[in-house]
């Protein structure tokens, strides 16, 4: 009987944590910002959680895209290979930032290398899941694409200057 109560308590705690996580994602992840709570929950459930350690390469410049990635915890370094062959750091991004969307939207190889800076948990939505979601509802697809376009436009406006890595 006690084991059943403990299991129920654990399940209830996990459900509460998942609900808080989904709510935080809706408030913080730009691709979710125009979605209803139900749509956000559906999008969240289509992802798979992956863990990376410091220095692990999550996406490699020139490789095929593996999906939309959303940082749940931790930070990653975004870099590009310079003309001299050295990696040039473009940015460091953290919790709730997303990456990988450009390569699946334009069906092109990844244009930057993404490397874990310390332990990182990332939620990944494979391209097939992403496009199935877009096709599920025209209105939903438009809201997701609008949020992605706004985010990509903001990235271009920032025009951050890269710095050489040591």
- Write out pLDDT tens, residues 136-165: 888 888 888 898 888 888 877 776 544 444
The single residue listed with the structure tokens 């998942």 is 18
Compute the mean pLDDT over every residue in the chain, rounded to the nearest whole number. 86
Whole-structure pTM value: 0.81
> Do the beta carbons of residue 91 and residue 78 sit within 8 Å?
yes
> Do the beta carbons of residue 33 and residue 96 sit within 8 Å?
no
Cα–Cα nearest to 22, from 35, 5, 6: 35
Both tokens of 85, joined, read: 């062959």
Both tokens of 86, joined, read: 């050295």
Percent of the chain with pLDDT over 90: 41
The single residue listed with the structure tokens 């025009």 is 159
- Cα–Cα distance for residue pair 34/123, rounded to 1 Å: 19
Whether residue 129 has pLDDT greater than 70: yes
Residue 132 CB-half CA count within 13 A: 10
Cα–Cα nearest to 97, from 19, 25, 21: 25
Whether residue 57 has pLDDT greater than 80: yes
Distance of CA 61 to the CA centre of its chain: 17
pLDDT (0 to 100) of residue 2: 58
- Cα–Cα distance for residue pair 65/109, rounded to 1 Å: 6
Q: Which CATH class name applies to 47-164?
A: mainly beta
Both tokens of 2, joined, read: 């006690």
pLDDT (0 to 100) of residue 148: 86
pLDDT (0 to 100) of residue 155: 75
Whether residue 107 has pLDDT greater than 80: yes
pLDDT (0 to 100) of residue 161: 44
Whether residue 54 has pLDDT greater than 80: yes
Instruction: Give the residues across from 77 on adjacent strands.
Output: 92, 115
């Amino acid at each position: 009987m006690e084991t059943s109560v403990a299991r129920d308590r654990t399940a209830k705690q996990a459900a509460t944590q998942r609900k808080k996580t989904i709510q935080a994602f809706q408030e913080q992840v730009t691709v979710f910002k125009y979605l209803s709570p139900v749509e956000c929950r559906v999008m969240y459930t289509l992802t798979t959680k992956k863990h990376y350690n410091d220095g692990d390469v999550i996406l490699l410049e020139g490789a095929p895209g593996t999906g939309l990635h959303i940082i749940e915890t931790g930070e990653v370094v975004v870099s590009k290979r310079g003309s001299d062959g050295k990696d040039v750091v473009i940015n460091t991004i953290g919790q709730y930032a997303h990456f990988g969307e450009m390569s699946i939207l334009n069906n092109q190889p990844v244009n930057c290398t993404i490397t874990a800076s310390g332990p990182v948990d990332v939620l990944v939505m494979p391209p097939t899941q992403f496009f199935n979601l877009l096709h599920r509802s025209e209105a939903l697809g438009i809201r997701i694409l609008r949020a992605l376009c706004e985010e990509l436009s903001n990235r271009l406006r920032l025009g951050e200057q890269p710095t050489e890595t040591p």
